Amino acid sequence: MKTHRFLLEIGTEEIPDWMIPPALEQLRGLFEQLLNSNSLSGTVICVDATPRRLVVQAQGLPERQPDSEETLTGPPKAAGDTAAAGFARKLGVPLTDLVTVETPKGEYFAYRKRIEGRPTVEILARELPGLIWNISWPKTMYWRRERERFIRPIRWVVALLDSRVVPFEVAGVASGNVTSGHRQLGRKRIRVTAANYEERLRANYVLVRAAERERKIREETEALLAVRGLHLRRDDALLQTLVYLTEYPTPLVGEFDRAYLDLPHEVLVTVMRHHQKYLSVEDAEGRLAPYFVAVMNMAGDPEGLVKAGNERVLRARFNDARFFWQTDQKKKLADRLHDLAQVTFQTDLGSYLDKTQRVVELVKKLGGNEYAQRAALLAKCDLTTEMVKEFTELQGVIGGLYAREQGEPEPVWRAIYEHYKPESMEDAIPSTPEGRLVSLADKLDTLQGCFRLGMIPSGSKDPFALRRAAQGVVKILVEGKLSLPVTELAGDLPELREFFLDRVRYYFREVRGFRYDEVNAVLAAGWDDLTDVESRLEAIRAVRPTANFEPLAASFKRIRNILRQAEYTGGAPVEPGLLEPGPETELYEAFDGLRSEVEARRREKQYRAALERIASLRPRVDLFFDKVLVNAPDERIRRNRLALLDGLLKEFSTIADFSEIVTEATNS
């Protein structure tokens, strides 16, 4: 059967770069859902974008839907032939076409109606307008009707099955086979087919695929820098921004006065990155070089006008930064402390001076030394500096640099410099004990204050970045080896404890890669000390592949089910005299002999050894269940056996709740 190639291009005014990647994820999902819900085969081969277009390309679409069959149920068979004839007349079919079907209510007359598949082009024409409107954006504009909302005005739409137009209208724009090239370099109207689309646009200075644009930037930049013995400073996030800001990116290398290198490289890089979107350059020793890479949305700069303009703008920005650096130094951070009273943190939580005082007290409570307390006192003072007012991305960092220039000890300035870290799960935690405590206290103060006010994140709303703060707390506790009780850090806020627990699960599952059932098992046995949680998870991961572990876990699940069904509440000791000789007595004696050894290893945090000893009970547990009737007719014997199982479960669930482990037996 012949199949077809499909192309959808939504042409718009320039879309903000940061909105494009999530929109592409939605676009792929919506199109695949369209195919599935209409029983259309096909494979998406490309979902991509430039600032002026969103694109879906697919192959293998059929000419039409497959035929289907619908069963229409009529009267019960017991109603007789007269009822059946009336049903057939109503449907306009011969009586002989009716069949009998079995239903929960008995046998019924029915008609199996064949439904001819609709042409694919008709289905796409009907579904594509809804697909376009269903892409959600952080902000939107709307047209004739409130439901017609999109990020930017739609200027053209290309929708093709091979070379055949899929006809529909969206936002007053009719679909067709005409696209538009680069705004300055390409033709305004270009006829395309699904097969030659990318080639025709490439000839008109539009590289549809983001990967191709990124490769062009990287390769041309490397060639330009190699002749100078330089290389690009890695910045993947900025590179992605530049990719989605351009349709035909061309890098150029600019220069700046070497004298500006007297400023800290953090300042220079921030000015270039955040304000001009320039990539920074390093020499062979990894030092910042007096060059930058700008990316034009043009084919070249033969007269050097773009280069000269960028250098002129950067020179002015660097002069501003130098002025701020010199002006700010005239007033020490410590002298700025009371200025924080004029900077609002949050209306109900007071000023940044109030926050600073709370953070200092938290650092003391967490056992921070004098350096940590001094860093906590000065950490927010840079918010009053001219540098941070102009370059907000430098808060914290510039405070640390000023503290260093003003003679503060290294543990103090470095803690200030790093106290916003980690800013994501990929970011490193502060490198010093003092920095970790200041960062921890700062994040805890924000979390506790906001949760007390009921400002708990819901959905996508999280104006104070509380999820990121809680993730930072978890990451610092685990990777900084800080055995601080999480429930105490949450204070008297049960909602915050649950919030932390969600972040703990996320960290160990998604960031550290532990299996979900291992995480559930370990957290069920206690999660107050996250360094201990990490150790227990690593022990579970190490012991899980051994022969006895998963079968024993299945037995523990069985034990928990037996106790729950028996409504056994526990508390009673095992009476050895009531134990039956053989497997029951052998299990009890083995359990009793292991108990003290496992507890000793657990206290010493030798979790792997403890788990291996627990797993060694597996043969005796299996034999017990094979030979012993737990629900014995004699109530005293039955309750004694339940007490044995309850003791086994509780004693050996202090490292992990084995009943949470998903085994092959559980899956089957």
Could you give the CA distance from residue 78 to residue 106 in angstroms, rounded to a whole number?
A: 9
Percentage of residues in the chain having pLDDT higher than 70: 98
In terms of domains, do 339 and 402 share one?
Answer: yes
Q: What is the pLDDT of residue 145?
A: 60
In terms of domains, do 411 and 362 share one?
Answer: yes
Average pLDDT over residues 447-474: 90
In terms of domains, do 662 and 569 share one?
Answer: yes
**pLDDT level of residue 664 (50, 70, 90 thresholds):** low
In terms of domains, do 483 and 405 share one?
Answer: yes
Average pLDDT over residues 248-254: 97
Q: How many domains does the chain have?
A: 5
Q: Kindly tell me if the per-residue pLDDT of 469 is higher than 50.
A: yes
Q: Kindly tell me if the per-residue pLDDT of 668 is higher than 70.
A: no
By DSSP bridging, strand 141-142 and strand 154-161 are: unpaired
Please state the pTM of the whole predicted model: 0.80
In terms of domains, do 232 and 181 share one?
Answer: no
Percentage of residues in the chain having pLDDT higher than 90: 73
Residue 398 lies in a domain: yes
In terms of domains, do 241 and 324 share one?
Answer: yes
**pLDDT level of residue 371 (50, 70, 90 thresholds):** very high
Place of tokens 């350059």: 281
CATH number of the domain within which 171 lies:
3.30.70
In terms of domains, do 20 and 130 share one?
Answer: yes
pLDDT tens by residue, 32-61: 999 999 999 999 999 999 999 999 999 999
pLDDT tens by residue, 135-154: 999 888 776 565 678 999 99
Q: Kindly tell me if the per-residue pLDDT of 644 is higher than 50.
A: yes
Cβ proximity of 591 and 657 under 8 Å: no
Could you give the CA distance from residue 59 to residue 321 in angstroms, rounded to a whole number?
A: 53
In terms of domains, do 51 and 168 share one?
Answer: yes
Q: What is the pLDDT of residue 666?
A: 46
Q: Kindly tell me if the per-residue pLDDT of 112 is higher than 80.
A: yes
Average pLDDT over residues 335-342: 96
In terms of domains, do 175 and 33 share one?
Answer: yes
Residue 578 lies in a domain: yes
Cβ proximity of 174 and 149 under 8 Å: no
- Structural domain that includes position 559: 546-667
Q: What is the pLDDT of residue 148?
A: 75
Q: List the Cα angle 476/454/464 in 5-degree steps.
A: 50
Q: Kindly tell me if the per-residue pLDDT of 325 is higher than 60.
A: yes
Could you give the CA distance from residue 355 to residue 492 in angstroms, rounded to a whole number?
A: 19
**pLDDT level of residue 667 (50, 70, 90 thresholds):** very low
Give the CA diameter of the chain: 103
pLDDT tens by residue, 431-443: 999 999 999 999 9
Residue 297 lies in a domain: yes
Residue 540 lies in a domain: no
Which of 214-223, 414-423, 456-465, 492-501 bottoms out in mean pLDDT, i.e. has the lowest?
A: 456-465
Sort 47 into a burial class: Cβ within 10 Å, 0-12 / 13-18 / 19+: buried
Q: From 328, 358, 379, give the residue that closes a domain.
A: 328
In terms of residues, how long is the chain? 668
In terms of domains, do 340 and 222 share one?
Answer: no
In terms of domains, do 500 and 355 share one?
Answer: yes
Q: What is the pLDDT of residue 445?
A: 96
Q: From 279, 302, 328, give the residue that closes a domain.
A: 328
Residue 75 lies in a domain: yes
Q: From 175, 202, 229, give the residue that closes a domain.
A: 202
Residue 478 lies in a domain: yes
For 491-617, where are the alpha helices, taking DSSP H only?
Answer: 494-506, 516-524, 530-543, 549-565, 583-603, 607-615
Strand (E) or helix (H) holding 69 = strand 68-76
Average pLDDT over residues 367-396: 95
Q: What is the dihedral of CA 580, 584, 589, 591, to 10 degrees?
A: -150
Q: Kindly tell me if the per-residue pLDDT of 586 is higher than 70.
A: yes
Q: What is the pLDDT of residue 615?
A: 87
CATH number of the domain within which 496 lies:
1.10.3210
Residue 539 lies in a domain: no
In terms of domains, do 372 and 261 share one?
Answer: no
**pLDDT level of residue 120 (50, 70, 90 thresholds):** very high
Q: Kindly tell me if the per-residue pLDDT of 546 is higher than 60.
A: yes
Q: What is the dihedral of CA 35, 41, 46, 50, to 10 degrees?
A: -30
Residue 72 corresponds to which tokens in the numbers above?
């229409």
Average pLDDT over residues 28-32: 96
pLDDT tens by residue, 179-219: 999 999 999 999 999 999 999 999 999 999 999 999 999 99
Q: What is the pLDDT of residue 147?
A: 67
Residue 541 lies in a domain: no
Average pLDDT over residues 165-169: 96
The full 3-state SS of 300-327, as one line of letters, equals CCCCCHHHHHHHHHHHHHHHHHHHHHHH
